[in-house]
Amino acid sequence: MTTSEKPKVKTINRLKSMYALRAEVDKMYAAGEDATNTGKPVAWVMLGQWAEPILTAMDVISIYPENYGSVCAAAGKAAPFLEASDAEGFPSHVCGYARNCFGYSAKMKELGGAIPPSAPMGGMPAPTLLVASSEICDARFKWFQALGRYFNAPLGTIESPYPGLKESIEPGTDERSVQFLIAQLREFVTFLEQLLGRKMNWDKLDEVARGLAGINRLRWEINRLRKAHPGPMHSKDLWSSITAAFFRGSESKAILDGFQKMLEEVKQRVASGESALNVPEKFRLSFDGLPPWHSLDIFDKLAARGWNFVIESNYRPYTPVNIDLSKFGDPLERYVRERFQSTNNTLEGEYTPEEAAAVRDEITRTGNSTILQIKHVRDCRCDGMVIHILLSCRSASLNLCAMQQKAVDLLKVPALVLEGDMVNASLFDPADVLKKAEAFEETMAYYKQMRKEAGIPW
Amino acid sequence: MVKQALQGMAKVSAINQDRAQRVLELQQAGKKIFGYLCIYPILEMLTAFDIVPFRLFGDINEPVTKANNFLPTVVCPFLRSYLDLGLKGRYSFLDGLITSHICDVGAGVPAIWNYAIKTPYTYHIDTPHTMRESAQAYHRKLMDSLQASLEEYTGRKLEPAKLVDAIKKHNQQRSLVRALYDLKKPDPPLISGAETILMIKAVQSLPVDEGNNLLCEVIAEVKARKNGPVKKAGRLMIWGSILDNSALVEMIESLDANVVMDDTCVGSRPYFDDVKITKNPLDGLAGHYLNHIKCPRTFISDYFAQQKDHITDLKRRYGYLGDYARDWHVNGVVMEALKYCDTHGYEVPSVKDYFTEIGLPSIYLEHDYTLGMMSPLKTRVQGFLEIIA
């Protein structure tokens, strides 16, 4: 099948519950438009788990330039913004989301603060404030700092601890990280209170935080069901629905309902053996890296070959924390303790005690774990991984080659390496992907035999 | 042993031919040798434990081959080279390795190193990126953890007096490097930019006392010599990401320019502020390594500013560059960054804005850690020098 041909039938069996969640992201941009009319403060916020509930509790509208980068990419509208970023002097290798944002901001400045006419989905209104985070990617601090060229908006920061793997399981590390986060957030709340001239609504924060924890738990339960054969939920459904969890999570009632329906639908599929594909599942794959938002239809074409993307390494829900929050009187402490992710938490929540002990031992001895980054491949019994190396994203690309090595070493699961970008369509060649896919099927068949010989049970 | 007899710049040159020779001798005599990556690991702590710190670099002359299996091509070429050398056994003599959270890739590579290379002891410092009160407190606690880890490794308690002594020795080194840089203020400078890089690399290959002795020798030699750099039209400052070889600066200095100042990490960055000796020496160390090293990996800002103004922000972040330009009589700036270095890449337009604001011409060069890049870059630098002239 060529890239221009569309499959005759819909090859991916989309979850019906996904559509309502996908539509939620539209509301984020509508809220931004409303804010322009009502004078509500608008924050440009980086993806991360800490800021939005606090902003919501302070009645600030959150808009996510990273999401807007994927919106522009998916709408085919990113290229002029990327070019404008280059013209501003930013290197072309920096984050595609950031470049989209720089170009957008430069155009907005040229227009005296008006939304560029070419902006899809109504665009992002000019920010009242910027909220930068080091979560996921620490260079993002520099991104929002660089926006000072275009906006005089105050800039708040939230820093996340990232101990090394060996250090992360040492006694005292988790508590030190928790205290650091609480202190960071307290400073952030002070910053907001001074800026907005009003007090934090702690009850509202509690409410939003509980809702978000509920959403995460539902997503976690859904993901656990994805081990089933055939895979009941395709990666495209995850990518379409996560925007609701990440960017609209503070509207927790609607989103909770949406993910509850998704959980029920996936459960139903597992019970009835219904696949995420409308064709027979021939190969089970993991997608590792950020998706090519501009070329998602490639997955429909791969589905036509029987490729079911049953799991991913990005955008995974964190392991729910089971602690009694009532013993913490400080709402910020409750907030952090319920959402803090650590290696210890992952080991306790996702591994048997015996395997957790073995992983700890390996980390202590070697400073590394072979299984930690590729457990999803083993759990879902994948035949292959597709890893997407992104020209403009170091944090998402950094570990992919090492994961590829580990998957081959430990699980005898091969990877198809694609090079591209999450925003810049010109760096991704769908025709080449399809050509490589055909050859990769032979590789997967070869490794299946290798697994059999090694006694690996799939 | 021949190198022991060499002095000054001849010794610097010899060390750069074989950086590990001296530490291997020390290792044979029973010393522990720890590699460290970038400039945020706490060297004074190692010295106080009688461990020799040895800075790890890449090698622009060695094509990256083995690291391709572990790191994609779209990450920092310096760190790819560094990992590649590790995979090829260049650093197999190390007893330990100290890394820090310099950037995303710098924070991620240690785990890959541990998977693929395995150095007997490793420690990673999660150096914060902000300088807020909470980050200061967090960084201070990390000093305690590093101390505890090194105590466990050595089987010895850290003696505060030894730590203070180590701080004094490293401060002396900082002072000597600043004295060396003072020799770059005259016109012509007494030492070239390329020689400066080699000098810093040599110092970072030796125990602190030996590095200090070498600095004294070189300062005396350079002051006395008659064949130093000649006067040229360009007095340039270099700002940017790591230059762990002198090729780029040599190329610039082959033209009508001297590189008289830098803001790079194999240059002035680790040396232009002293560690304060505090009642608990760890307080001074924690404050120094977070607050006083000016790499853009640390987010400098007025954190609680309710009003922002771009120019005020630029002056807060880069005012020291203006001071350098004034004191070293700089008439042009070369901004350089390795391809895929986001930390410096995001800064480029703002740094350029700052130099424009203070009336200094600047040029931005992006390079990929290969010698092949020098020829096209040379053409651009020639054009820039014509503008300055």
Q: What is the pLDDT of residue A1?
A: 54
**Residue of A90, A131, A178, A368 best to disrupt the B interface, most CBs of B under 10 A:** A368
Residue contacts between A and B (CB atoms, under 8 Å): 204
Residue among B277, B299, B4, B11 at smallest CA distance from B164: B277
Mean pLDDT of A348-360: 96
Mean pLDDT of B160-182: 98
Kindly state whether residue A11 falls inside one of the protein's structural domains.
Answer: no
What confidence category does residue A251 fall into, taking pLDDT thresholds of 50, 70 and 90?
A: confident
Identify which of A134, A368, A405 has the shortest CB distance to residue B69: A405
HSE of A81, CA atoms in CB hemisphere, 13 A: 34
Which chain B residues are within 8 Å of A161, Cβ to Cβ?
126, 138
**Residue of B99, B138, B241, B363 best to disrupt the A interface, most CBs of A under 10 A:** B138
The verdict on B362 touching A (C-beta cutoff 8 Å) is no
Longest dimension (CA), chain B: 62
Both structure tokens of A407? 């998957």
Distance between CA atoms of residues B75 and A261, nearest Å:
41
Per-residue pLDDT tens digits for B58-102: 999 999 999 999 999 999 999 999 999 999 999 999 999 999 999
What confidence category does residue A6 fall into, taking pLDDT thresholds of 50, 70 and 90?
A: low
Identify which of B122, B307, B342 has the shortest CB distance to residue A166: B122
Rounded-to-10 torsion of CA B327, B333, B337, B341: 60
Q: Which residue of B has its CA nearest to A163?
A: B126
Question: In Å, how far from its chain's centre is CA A167?
Answer: 25
Mean pLDDT of B162-183: 98
Name the DSSP letter for residue A153: -
Residue among A220, A233, A219, A226 at smallest CA distance from A380: A226
Which of these ranges, A45-54, A262-271, B326-335, has the smallest mean pLDDT?
A45-54
Task: Decide if B349 and A89 are in contact by the 8 Å CB cutoff.
Answer: yes
Question: In Å, how far from its chain's centre is CA B201?
Answer: 9
Both structure tokens of A338? 């319920």
> How crowded is residue A10: how many other Cβ atoms within 10 Å of its Cβ?
14
DSSP string, A247-270: HSTTSHHHHHHHHHHHHHHHHHHH
Q: Which residue of A has its CA nearest to B317?
A: A145
Question: In Å, how far from its chain's centre is CA B345?
Answer: 18
How many independent structural domains does chain A possess? 1
Q: Which residues pair with B337 in a beta bridge?
A: B366
Distance between CA atoms of residues A237 and A240, nearest Å:
5
Rounded-to-10 torsion of CA B80, B108, A399, A259: -160
**Topology agreement, domain B17-147 and domain B230-388:** yes
What confidence category does residue B1 fall into, taking pLDDT thresholds of 50, 70 and 90?
A: very low
Which chain B residues are within 8 Å of A94, Cβ to Cβ?
342, 345-346
Q: Look at residue A5 and tell me whether its pLDDT is greater than 80.
A: no
> Do B108 and A403 contact (CB within 8 A), yes or no?
no
Task: Decide if B74 and A390 are in contact by the 8 Å CB cutoff.
Answer: yes
For A210, B161, B163, the CA distances from B279, given in Å and listed in that order, are 45, 11, 12
Kindly state whether residue A4 falls inside one of the protein's structural domains.
Answer: no
Q: Look at residue A249 and tell me whether its pLDDT is greater than 70.
A: no
**Residue of A50, A93, A404 best to disrupt the B interface, most CBs of B under 10 A:** A93
Identify which of A146, A155, A162 has the shortest CB distance to residue B346: A146
Q: What is the pLDDT of residue A8?
A: 66
- B328 CB-near residues (< 8 Å, 6+ apart): B181, B184, B185, B235, B237, B260, B261
Task: Decide if B118 and A366 are in contact by the 8 Å CB cutoff.
Answer: yes
The verdict on A390 touching B (C-beta cutoff 8 Å) is yes
Per-residue pLDDT tens digits for B284-325: 999 999 999 999 999 987 777 777 788 999 999 999 999 999
- The alpha carbon dihedral of B145, B148, B152, B156 has a sign of positive
The verdict on A194 touching B (C-beta cutoff 8 Å) is yes
Which chain B residues are within 8 Å of A158, Cβ to Cβ?
none
Name the DSSP letter for residue B68: G
Kindly state whether residue A12 falls inside one of the protein's structural domains.
Answer: no
Residue among A192, A247, A34 at smallest CA distance from A125: A34
B43-79 residues labelled b (16+ CB within 10 A) or e (exposed): bbbbbbbebbbbbbbbbbeeebeebebbbbbbbbbbb
The percentage of chain A sitting over the pLDDT mark of 70, rounded to a whole number, equals 98
HSE of A380, CA atoms in CB hemisphere, 13 A: 30
Instruction: Quote the crossing angle between the two packed helices B281-291 and B160-182, to the nearest 10°.
Output: 40
Residue among A281, A323, A328 at smallest CA distance from A306: A281
**Complex ipTM > 0.90:** yes
- A399 CB-near residues (< 8 Å, 6+ apart): A373, B108, B112
Q: Which residue of A has its CA nearest to B312?
A: A148
CATH level 3 topology of B17-147: Rossmann fold (3.40.50)
The verdict on A168 touching B (C-beta cutoff 8 Å) is no
Q: What is the pLDDT of residue A372?
A: 94
Q: Rounded to a whole number, what is the distance in Å from the CA of A446 to chain B's nearest CA?
A: 20
Q: Look at residue A250 and tell me whether its pLDDT is greater than 90.
A: no
Is the whole model's pTM more than 0.90, yes or no?
yes
> What are the φ/ψ torsions at residue B124 (nearest 5 degrees)?
-120, 125
Task: Decide if A367 and B132 are in contact by the 8 Å CB cutoff.
Answer: no
Name the DSSP letter for residue A191: H
The percentage of chain A sitting over the pLDDT mark of 90, rounded to a whole number, equals 83
Distance between CA atoms of residues B126 and A181, nearest Å:
14
Which positions 63-122 of B are in contact with A (Cβ < 8 Å)?
68-76, 99, 101, 103-105, 107-112, 114-116, 118, 122
Which chain B residues are within 8 Å of A147, Cβ to Cβ?
none
How is domain B230-388 classified at the architecture level of CATH?
Answer: 3-Layer(aba) Sandwich (3.40)
The verdict on B366 touching A (C-beta cutoff 8 Å) is yes
Which positions 425-444 of A are in contact with B (Cβ < 8 Å)?
none
> Do B15 and B21 contact (CB within 8 A), yes or no?
yes
Residue type, A285: L
Per-residue pLDDT tens digits for B34-52: 999 999 999 999 999 999 9
Q: Rounded to a whole number, what is the distance in Å from the CA of B26 to chain A's nearest CA?
A: 26
Residue A165 lies in domain: 18-454
> Do B339 and B368 contact (CB within 8 A), yes or no?
yes
Per-residue pLDDT tens digits for B242-270: 999 999 999 999 999 999 999 999 999 99
Both structure tokens of A406? 């580990």
Identify which of A94, A400, A401 has the shortest CB distance to residue B345: A94
Which chain A residues are within 8 Å of B114, Cβ to Cβ?
165-166, 366-368
Q: What is the pLDDT of residue A192?
A: 96
What confidence category does residue A171 fall into, taking pLDDT thresholds of 50, 70 and 90?
A: very high
Q: Which residue of A has its CA nearest to B146?
A: A167
Distance between CA atoms of residues A192 and A199, nearest Å:
9
Task: Decide if B346 and A94 are in contact by the 8 Å CB cutoff.
Answer: yes
Q: Rounded to a whole number, what is the distance in Å from the CA of A320 to chain B's nearest CA?
A: 25
- B49 CB-near residues (< 8 Å, 6+ apart): B150, B154, B156, B158
Per-residue pLDDT tens digits for A120-164: 999 999 999 999 998 888 888 899 999 999 999 999 999 999 999
Task: Decide if A159 and B130 are in contact by the 8 Å CB cutoff.
Answer: yes
The percentage of chain B sitting over the pLDDT mark of 70, rounded to a whole number, equals 99
Task: Decide if B352 and A89 are in contact by the 8 Å CB cutoff.
Answer: yes
Q: Look at residue B2 and tell me whether its pLDDT is greater than 50.
A: no
Mean pLDDT of A281-286: 98
Q: Rounded to a whole number, what is the distance in Å from the CA of B229 to chain A's nearest CA?
A: 34
Spell out where chain B has E strands: 32-36, 51-55, 96-100, 121-125, 234-240, 257-263, 332-338, 362-367
Q: Rounded to a whole number, what is the distance in Å from the CA of A92 to chain B's nearest CA?
A: 9
Q: Which residue of A has its CA nearest to B115?
A: A368
What confidence category does residue A31 fall into, taking pLDDT thresholds of 50, 70 and 90?
A: confident
Distance between CA atoms of residues B75 and B79, nearest Å:
8
Both structure tokens of A412? 């005898």
What confidence category does residue A103 fall into, taking pLDDT thresholds of 50, 70 and 90?
A: very high
Distance between CA atoms of residues B369 and B79, nearest Å:
10
Identify which of B76, B101, B348 has the shortest CB distance to residue A89: B348
- Classify burial at B285, counting beta carbons within 10 Å of its beta carbon; exposed 0-12, middle 13-18, buried 19 or more: buried
Q: What is the pLDDT of residue B307?
A: 74
Kindly state whether residue A13 falls inside one of the protein's structural domains.
Answer: no
Q: Look at residue B4 and tell me whether its pLDDT is greater than 60.
A: no
Cα three-residue angle A336-A341-A343, rounded to 5 degrees: 145
Kindly state whether residue A8 falls inside one of the protein's structural domains.
Answer: no
> How crowded is residue A2: how many other Cβ atoms within 10 Å of its Cβ?
8
The verdict on B246 touching A (C-beta cutoff 8 Å) is no
Average pLDDT, chain A: 93
Q: Rounded to a whole number, what is the distance in Å from the CA of A349 to chain B's nearest CA?
A: 22
Strands B257-263 and A307-312 come out as unpaired
Distance between CA atoms of residues A292 and B9, nearest Å:
53
The verdict on B345 touching A (C-beta cutoff 8 Å) is yes
Residue type, A437: A
Rounded-to-10 torsion of CA A247, A249, A250, A255: 130
- B36 CB-near residues (< 8 Å, 6+ apart): B43, B46, B53, B54, B55, B56, B97, B98, B99
Q: What is the pLDDT of residue A4?
A: 56
The verdict on A193 touching B (C-beta cutoff 8 Å) is no
The verdict on B227 touching A (C-beta cutoff 8 Å) is no
Helix runs in A351-399, H state only: 353-366, 375-379, 394-397
Cis-peptide, bond into residue B207, ω within 30° of zero: no
The verdict on B254 touching A (C-beta cutoff 8 Å) is no
Kindly state whether residue A255 falls inside one of the protein's structural domains.
Answer: yes
Helix (H, G, I), strand (E, B) or coil at B236: strand
Contacts of A251-258 with CB under 8 Å at 24 or more apart are A251/A24, A251/A27, A252/A207, A252/A208, A252/A210, A252/A211, A252/A212, A252/A214, A252/A215, A253/A211, A254/A24, A255/A21, A255/A24, A255/A211, A255/A215, A256/A211, A256/A214, A256/A215, A256/A218, A258/A17, A258/A20, A258/A21, A258/A24
The verdict on B269 touching A (C-beta cutoff 8 Å) is no
Location of structure tokens 């998977």: B115
Which chain A residues are within 8 Å of B110, Cβ to Cβ?
164, 367
Kindly state whether residue A9 falls inside one of the protein's structural domains.
Answer: no
Distance between CA atoms of residues A386 and A367, nearest Å:
26
> Do B8 and B217 contact (CB within 8 A), yes or no?
yes
Q: Rounded to a whole number, what is the distance in Å from the CA of A453 to chain B's nearest CA?
A: 24
Task: Decide if A164 and B103 are in contact by the 8 Å CB cutoff.
Answer: no
> Do A199 and A193 contact (CB within 8 A), yes or no?
yes
The verdict on A391 touching B (C-beta cutoff 8 Å) is yes
> Do A143 and A45 contact (CB within 8 A), yes or no?
no
Identify which of A94, A152, A398 has the shortest CB distance to residue B104: A398
The verdict on B134 touching A (C-beta cutoff 8 Å) is yes
The verdict on A271 touching B (C-beta cutoff 8 Å) is no
Q: What is the pLDDT of residue A7?
A: 59
